Amino acid sequence: MKLFNFFNSSASYRVRIALALKGIDYQTEPVNIRLGEQYDTEYLQLNPVGVLPTLIDDEGNSIGQSLAIIDYLEQCFPVPQPYHKAHKYALKY
């Protein structure tokens, strides 16, 4: 998997957290939004809207928007479920 992201983007950070919690290996491809690299022709071929982050899975599918990416990761990698344990703990109070 390859994640196109910007280091200081909260949406990109959200996806990096999900990937880490799931233990999924991925390559990172930096896209500098301060320089407008998200509007480069090459990036727009991956994500025509020109927003970050974008995940390219091992089959070459392109998924944009952080919540859609996280939902996709949950469907493809249902285990581990880091939120399940936290939810159980929260219910104790």
Per-residue pLDDT of the chain in tens (93 residues, 90 and over written 9): 999 999 999 999 999 999 999 999 999 999 999 999 999 999 999 999 999 999 999 999 999 999 999 999 999 998 776 666 655 555 555
- The 8-class DSSP code of residue 38 comes to G
The backbone torsions φ and ψ at residue 84, rounded to the nearest 5 degrees and listed phi first, read -60, -45
CATH 3.40.50.10490 assigned to 2-91: no
Question: What residue spans define the domains of the chain?
Answer: 2-91
**pLDDT at position 79, please?**
78
**pLDDT at position 91, please?**
54
73: number of CA atoms within 13 Å, CB side? 29
**pLDDT at position 72, please?**
97
70 contacts 81 by C-beta, under 8 angstroms: no
**pLDDT at position 88, please?**
58
